[in-house]
Structures are given as structure tokens and as C-alpha cells.
Amino acid sequence: MDTPEWQKNTALHWLVTMNTDTKVLKLVRKSSEEEDHNETTRSTSPPVQLAALPAAETRSFGRSAIDERDVPLDHMDAGRDALVDMYRTMYMSRKLDDKEIQLKGQNRIYFQISGAGHEAILVAAGVSLKAGYDWFYPYYRDRALCLQLGMTPLEQLLSSVGAEADPNSHGRQMPSHWGHKKLNIVSQSSPTGTQLLQAVGCAEASYRVELVPELKRVVKNFHDDEVAYVSLGDGTSSEGEFWEALNTATNLKLPVVFLLEDNGYAISVPVEVQTAGGDVSRLIEGFPSLYMQKCDGTDMLESLATMRRAVDYCRQRKGPAFVHAKVIRPYSHSLSDDEKLYRADEERALEAERDPVKRFGAYLISEHLIDQNGLQKIKDEVDQIVNEAADQALASPQPSVETVTKFVFSPDVDPTSKAFDTEEGAELSGNAGTMVDLINRCLHTEMARDPRIVVFGEDVADCSRDQYLNNVKGKGGVFKVTANLQRRFGSARVFNSPLAEANIVGRAIGLATRGLKPVVEIQFFDYIWPAMHQIRNELALLRWRSGNEWKAPLVIRVPVGGYLKGGAVYHSQSGVSTFTQIPGLRVIYPSNALDANGLLRTAIRCDDPVLFLEHKHLYRQAYNKSQYPPDEFMIPFGKAKRVKEGSNLSIITYGALVQRSLVAAKQAEQDGISVEIIDLRSLVPYDWNAIVASVKKTNRVIVAHEDSLSFGYGAEIAARISSELFEHLDAPVKRVCALDTFVAYAPVLEDAILPQVTDVAKAIAELNAY
């Protein structure tokens, strides 16, 4: 991986001072002794406020920008080299955009979205931060940043052509969806704004290390002054997750640099339509500890000074920084868009005068840092590099079609394997406990075993105000599942979150990326939907879309289901099929206390994201109690349990329908009908072999679950049985499910909507008589 020469020069240090009339940018060479000191300690120089710029203001810099009276002559050479190399990166970024546009016009690539007009602020960000040391959550305009951090033109063009060697995604994502393991550029997705909460979670990892020093050995690439960078466009600031990210970053004073690259448009929608008052900075001024800066993001020197101050503020652990950079968008949003349809010619002409590449090139010439011939030589060299890289990329092999299913799940840890099966012969001890008790015990033992585990969510802590912790009984979750975890393991590992489900899951992804093991709680399944963006588009896809470069193994615990009397529409849902169809997400659904303990331990120890569903009605039922298993008790995923032997027909079920099926089966025995019951326990993956064996044995099958009939989880099981086991069936596959409606409040209505013992008994009788 090639790194620009100027980037290797760690002896170059930028200092910014402010006079009343002019800005002075000084270049000084630090001594090697000072350099070594600063590599291991944080800067203590206070940040300098920079006056905000009007949206369309253009600034030119006279000789005072780099004043020879402030910079000794022998240091000017180093300064010139650095500035010239910054121009080289800016021009290379623009040239790569142009090359991709050319290739798209030739139908040799399939998509293009440019970073044109953003180059100055992005190169400034790259100069101010450390590749492979700090952490980066860019968005699709950040081509110049990635180049500045060390990504090569070839690597970017490999992404354009969808080559297997593409380090961003190995051909799985669109171009300009950045990711680079060695540079700490975390895999980026298309939905705007989802990266913000993950960046906050990434920075939170270092915050947790400060509170729990032993985490230093498990947090990946930890540095005590590391910074998380995250960028966004002006349109993204309309997303709710933007505000959730700012809320947590400022509340915890996390070292996050938010870079708002404001080019005035979100595709065709101008900023004044997106944002009240047309200036998001004015709306967020009230966030505490947020160091806010505005700058002309097309001005290289001003951008550099601003980014330096923002980064230094974060390195000093004073809180997050927010840089609002006004940039331009000289090209359409992407090649799928035509900005001439909605932007006036005069507006586009005015923006062209602020083109950062042209402005900075003209500045270098006017300051005699390079002449026209020297500038042209740089352009010629870059043109050649880009053309050669394009030729190499076009010749690079495409991914093999055999790889398409690789990395949906972890290739290294298999939770369906014998290594996770200690169920047989496990010795139980102590008094029988409920499902709540055994889940709580599992969390206690696993947190004691693994310091990486952090538990958070709404109300999961015993008491957020530590000073009262010993004076109160403690909350420990609305169902008491997390009781006494905070009391035992401390507030740094068990803590409450804002009431914001996307915040919970997004932060957990960032923490998991750094090597921690979040076990988070969504208070009710019915309220999981604000987190769906993070679960579907981020959590489940991170490993696959990055070609196994990045992963986020974590557990989302979710109370689910009805039969509570009074749960009603928003506390009784069971829509599991929405999640079981998401590749990359394990879905587990125990029906009793012992299974919940063993399956949760497997979920925590596996290397994939797991949705762990805990039926609220089953939390404290006497019939599913169990004594406590050993601390190494595990049940592998994809292993069903035969809870009742039978010969006449089979019931394939899970969750609350297991007990209801057992009751119905005992009633059927009085009529001479022998019913076999299979508890799936694990929905993704499910135990197809157990289903096959049971169906071949009884030749008749019922699929029973609490989810609705149409498009419910059982439809997949029924369809596969009909397709693959048709010759073994003596009757059609029958389903017992909830009605295609919502769960109502009145008990008589709830009973009619959800499947009851009588519904299962009726299905048994009808199927046996077929």
C-alpha cells in the first residue's frame, strides 16, 4: 500500500494563530524529542475559535497565509512540499472521479458517485487524523479522505469495477462505499446516517476502557488519545439518528469528530427545505461540550486549521467536535441524477468559482510555491497513475460466483457445532428457577467470565444514579431479567441508554467492531422497529458486505409475544418472520428456563449477531422452571428438542405454543391419537433433520406458532415439508397460527386472535381423521 511521501513526514506540525485582521498559518518543524513526546501524550494547547463564514463567501489568501517572517527559510521547503502534496491528493481525487465517469460512459463500470467539490476539507481531515490509529466512518463523498489516509488509486478503481481484490468490499458493494481494514476505515453502507451511531459506539469503546482499564487488552487497536471520525452530508442531518448520535456523544463527552460536508443539496432538495433556517449548526448550538466550528470547506488552509483544532479538542478528551464545512457539488449527485433539471445555470456558475482544486492550484502559483509548469507536471503524473490503475483494475479478476454465500455468518466459529453442545448429561443443582432466573444467572456467569461483555438498554441498570444504588432495591429491567448486574459488575459495564432503539443497536455495533461483546435489550419486541435500519442494513450485513473484513457479534435480547392479558396492540406482537428472512442474523426462541440459559450462553459466545427472543408469558411460568445448569452449559443453534414422542402425527412448534401443544396432545391421547412434538428452539438456523425424521415417522404434520398465519414463520417450514417430503405425507400440512390481525386489549378478543389449546386440539383431530 503506497503512502504519499508528505504523509510520512511526521515532523511537520501545523499551528494556527489568529490576528485581528488576518489569519497566520505557521509551519514549524518539531524536534525529534518533541515528536516522540507528542506521540504518547495528548496536546494541551487550547483550541482557537474560528469565525463562521457566510454560506457563499469566497476567501482568498495573500502572502500572510504563509508568512516567511514566521517560518524560517529551511522550513519553508518542507511547508511547500506538504502543500504541493495536498494539491496532488486533491487533483488525484478529482481525476479518479473523472475516470470513473468516463468508464461509466463506456459501460465498463456500473455506478458512479463523486466526491468532487469536497476535496479540500477531506484532505485536511486526512492530514489531521492518523490512518490505522484513529477510526473512520466516512460517507460516499469521502474519496479524497481515503486517498489521504493511504488508499491507492488502484484500490479505489478495483471497487469501481467490482473486482475481487477490492479492499472495500471485494466486489459486493457500489463504488465509493469505503472500507479498509488496515486504515481503520469501517465498512460503509448506502443508507445515509446509519454510520453516525456506529462511530459513537466506536468512540465509546475507548471511553469504556478509561472506566475499566482491563479492557485495554481486548479493545482492538486501542490508543488513549484515539479519535473517531464520522462524516455526513447536509441532507443526512435530517435523519433522527444524527440527533441520537449527537446526544450520546455530547452526553458521554466522546472523542468523535463530526464533519458535515454541506454542499447545499440532498440530491435535488436544497438545504433550506431540509433544515429549519437552512443551517443545522444553529440548531445544535445547545449541545453541551460540543466544540463547533464552521469553515469554507473549499479553502485548503482554512479547512486544515479548522480540522486541526477539532481533532485536538477530541484528543484532549474535552468532548466531541462538530465541523460544518461549506463545500460545493460541481457534478450531479451521481450519474443516475441530472442536476440541470433542478439547478439554475447561474447557481452552478457561481459554485464553479469556488472549485477547491482550481483555487488551491491558483494559490500555490500565486504564492510562488510552484509554477505553472510544475503544476502541469503533477497533473500529468497523476493522469498517468490513474490511467494505469484503471487498466489494472479492468484486468483484475471478478469475484468467483461460488463465493456469494461466503461470510453470511462467521467462517471461524460455528454455533451449531459439537463445541457448543454440553446439554447431554448436564448436572443440575439448586432450587428450580424461572426463565427470568436462569437467564439472569447466565448473564452473571458470562459477565464474570468475559470482561468484554457490556449490558445496556432502557431500564436495564439497577439505578443510574450510583450514589443511591445501595439505598434502593434496583430496577434491573422491566421484567427484572438484568437485576443486580450493575450492582455486581459496575456502571461502566451495565448501564441505561436513552429511550432510542436505534441508539442502542447502532452503538452496540460500534462497540462490537472494537472487540467488546454487547448484550443489549430492546424493552419490548413491539418497539424494535426504530432499530430496524441498524439491524437489517448494518448489523446483519456488516460481515458479508465487507467480505469478512469487519464484523459485529452481539446479542439483542427482546421480550416478545402475547398471552399476558392487557398487553394489547403494542406489547404482544410476535412478528419473527420479519427477522428470520434477514441473512446474517441468528434468531433464537427458547420455550423454557433451561433452554434459555444454554441458548443464551451460546449466543454470547458465538461470533455472529443474535436476536434472542424471550417470551414474556413464559418468563415466570411454573411448568418451565429448571434447576441451574453448570456455567459451561450450552445448547447449539439448529438443534431441536423432541419434547414428546408420538407416532400418529407431528407438531413442529416453538415458544409459547410448545406448552399449548403438549396440553392438546395429552387430550388427544384420550382419543387414542399419539402426537409427537418438536420444539425448534432455534429459528435461524432450524433443525431440518429433526423435522425430516419426525415427518417420516408419523407422516402427518402440524406447524404451530404464535405468529400470524399469512407469511408467518411456519409458512416456510410447511412449504419445505411439502416440497421435499411430499412422498412421506399422508395428509396436507396443517398450520395453527394467530389470525391475520393485531392483538387486542380485551381478553376475549386476545383469546380469539392468538392460537389456543383448543385450536391445536381441533387441528390434531382433523388431521388424524383426514
DSSP code per residue over 517-580:
EEEEE-S-GGG-GGGHHHIIIIITTHHHHTTTS-----EEEEEE---SSS--TTS----THHHH
Distance CA 754, CA 567 (A): 12
Q: Residue 703 burial (CB < 10 Å; 0-12/13-18/19+)?
A: buried
Q: Which of 118, 333, 571, 705 is catalytic?
A: 571
- Residue in this structure with the C-alpha cell 392438546, named with its chain if needed: 664
CB atoms within 10 A of CB 72: 11
User: In terms of Cα–Cα distance, which of 544, 434, 542 is closest to 479?
Assistant: 434
Sign of the Cα pseudo-torsion (458, 459, 460, 465, in order): positive
CB atoms within 10 A of CB 456: 23
Helix (H, G, I), strand (E, B) or coil at 458: coil
Helix (H, G, I), strand (E, B) or coil at 661: helix
Alpha carbon distances (Å) from 82 to 146, 151, 164: 17, 18, 34
With beta carbons less than 8 A apart as the criterion, state whether 263 and 273 touch: no
With beta carbons less than 8 A apart as the criterion, state whether 298 and 326 touch: yes
Distance CA 685, CA 138 (A): 34
Residue 571 annotated as catalytic? yes
Pairing of strands 453-457, 517-521: parallel
- The angle that helices 73-105 and 372-395 make with each other, rounded to 10 degrees, is 40
With beta carbons less than 8 A apart as the criterion, state whether 194 and 242 touch: no
Distance CA 60, CA 136 (A): 31
Torsion of CA 641, 644, 647, 650, to 10 degrees: -60
Where in the sequence numbering do the catalytic residues fall?
571
